[in-house]
């Protein structure tokens, strides 16, 4: 794919990582943020990541921080927004982006859970608007969900899939703009049952995590659930579902157990206690283990 001009809106956790991936893939990247501190440190943060990962340090030369949104997006082929998760803010930003961008630019939001339709509904060129949902950290987790709305053109989807594939990502096309897209629906179906097992006294929180990490979690990176169903047989899968599904949590809302944790101020790492208690050392060990695991997976180890 030819070198493109990419504009990134928001230079926080996700925005700086997304800029890094595109710059490393050879594209010219502009990035903006209303926080002067965030913009002033963005190149430093990207350089530190490149160094840490052993990636080409010269990629940073393709990243240009720009103070104003209009200047950041005006020449771009592809614009991705990674500003805070707030519908009104994102709507306002896309109105400004559309007014300043080239008419043929593709506009993408990296929202975690807000439906793309809601963000883009007031635009004039909705056929060029879509979602690209990256996972944290953007330079270590391969997946990018590419979400089309009822208005998105097949050409915009195709360009976006190709752009991300050629930047080394694994794009997945989400054909309907549903809440949670694909990844978070699957992830939170599992989390709902995880909470329910603890709530019902079947095991404690640590045991839930041990069971996953020591069993099917080991296989998940190479064997998806539907590959697994085919591997064991759809007939066996049906028999298991007939037996087990009636007993799995299917409540439509969050668990009261989770609601009580939050009401009691047990917010996890932030407060030192959530489902489990966490010392600062345990928190830092777990964070380190995750990054090491993801690096190893990226480098094929």
Ligand X SMILES: NC(=O)c1ccc[n+]([C@@H]2O[C@H](COP(=O)([O-])OP(=O)(O)OC[C@H]3O[C@@H](n4cnc5c(N)ncnc54)[C@H](O)[C@@H]3O)[C@@H](O)[C@H]2O)c1
Enumerate binding residues for ligand X (CB under 6 A).
9-15, 33-35, 38, 82-85, 89, 93, 110-112, 134-136
Instruction: Out of 4, 110, 145, 255, pick the active-site residue.
Output: 145
In the bound complex, what is the minimum distance in angstroms from residue 11's beta carbon to ligand X?
A: 5
User: Is 112 tagged catalytic?
Assistant: yes
In the bound complex, what is the minimum distance in angstroms from residue 200's beta carbon to ligand X?
A: 29
In the bound complex, what is the minimum distance in angstroms from residue 226's beta carbon to ligand X?
A: 24
The Cα–Cα gap between 80 and 23 comes to 14
Instruction: Out of 153, 173, 184, 188, pick the active-site residue.
Output: 184
Instruction: Out of 112, 127, 193, 273, pick the active-site residue.
Output: 112
User: Is 61 tagged catalytic?
Assistant: no
**Cis amide bond preceding 137, omega within 30:** yes
DSSP the chain: ----EEEEE--SHHHHHHHHHHHHTT-EEEEE-S-HHHHHHHHHHHHHHHHHHT--GGGGGGEEE-SSHHHHHTT-SEEEE---S-HHHHHHHHHHHHHHS-TT-EEEE--SSS-HHHHHTT-S-GGGEEEEEE-SSTTT--EEEEE--TT--HHHHHHHHHHHHHTT-EEEEE-S--TTTTHHHHHHHHHHHHHHHHHTTSS-HHHHHHHHHHTHHHHHTT--HHHHHHHH-HHHHHHHHHHHGGGS---SS--HHHHHHHHTT--BTTTTBSSSB--HHHHHHHHHHHHHHHHHHHTT-
Q: State which residue, 110 or 152, has the beta carbon closest to ligand X.
A: 110
Give the residue nearest to ligand X (CB): 12
User: Is 184 tagged catalytic?
Assistant: yes
Is 28:19 a contact under the CB 8 Å cutoff? no
In the bound complex, what is the minimum distance in angstroms from residue 111's beta carbon to ligand X?
A: 5
Q: State which residue, 30 or 196, has the beta carbon closest to ligand X.
A: 30
User: Is 98 tagged catalytic?
Assistant: no
In the bound complex, what is the minimum distance in angstroms from residue 116's beta carbon to ligand X?
A: 12
Q: State which residue, 91 or 237, has the beta carbon closest to ligand X.
A: 91
What do you get for the CA distance between the two ends of the chain, in Å? 28
Q: State which residue, 38 or 160, has the beta carbon closest to ligand X.
A: 38
The Cα–Cα gap between 191 and 254 comes to 10
Q: State which residue, 46 or 198, has the beta carbon closest to ligand X.
A: 46
In the bound complex, what is the minimum distance in angstroms from residue 298's beta carbon to ligand X?
A: 17
Q: State which residue, 170 or 228, has the beta carbon closest to ligand X.
A: 170
In degrees, to the nearest 5, what angle opens at C-alpha 59 toward C-alphas 56 and 61? 135
- Residues identified as active-site: 112, 133, 145, 184
């Amino acid at each position: 794919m030819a070198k493109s001009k990419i504009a990134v809106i928001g230079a926080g956790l996700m925005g700086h990582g997304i800029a890094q991936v595109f710059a490393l893939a050879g594209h010219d990247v502009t990035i903006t943020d209303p926080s002067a501190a965030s913009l002033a440190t963005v190149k430093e943060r990207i350089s530190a990541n490149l160094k840490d990962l052993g990636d080409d340090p010269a990629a940073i030369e393709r990243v240009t921080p720009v103070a104003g949104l209009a200047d950041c997006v005006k020449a771009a082929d592809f614009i991705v927004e990674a500003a805070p998760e707030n519908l009104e803010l994102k709507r306002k930003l896309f109105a400004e982006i559309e007014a300043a961008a080239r008419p043929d630019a593709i506009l993408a939001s990296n929202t975690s859970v807000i439906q793309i339709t809601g963000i883009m509904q007031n635009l004039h060129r909705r056929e060029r608007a879509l979602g690209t949902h990256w996972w944290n950290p953007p330079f270590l987790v391969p997946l990018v969900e590419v979400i089309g709305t009822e208005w998105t053109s097949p050409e915009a989807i195709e360009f976006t899939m190709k752009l991300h594939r050629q930047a080394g990502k694994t794009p997945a096309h989400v054909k309907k703009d549903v809440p949670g897209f694909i990844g978070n629906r699957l992830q939170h179906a599992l989390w709902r049952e995880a909470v329910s097992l603890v709530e019902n006294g079947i095991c404690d929180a640590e045991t839930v995590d041990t069971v996953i990490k020591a069993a099917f979690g080991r296989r998940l990176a190479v064997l998806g659930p539907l590959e697994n169903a085919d591997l064991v047989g759809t007939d066996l899968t049906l028999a298991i579902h007939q037996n087990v599904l009636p007993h799995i949590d299917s409540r439509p809302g969050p668990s009261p157990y989770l609601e009580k944790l939050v009401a009691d101020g047990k917010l996890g790492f932030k407060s030192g206690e959530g489902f489990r208690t966490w010392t600062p050392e345990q928190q830092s060990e777990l964070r380190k283990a995750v990054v090491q695991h993801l690096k190893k997976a990226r480098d094929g180890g």
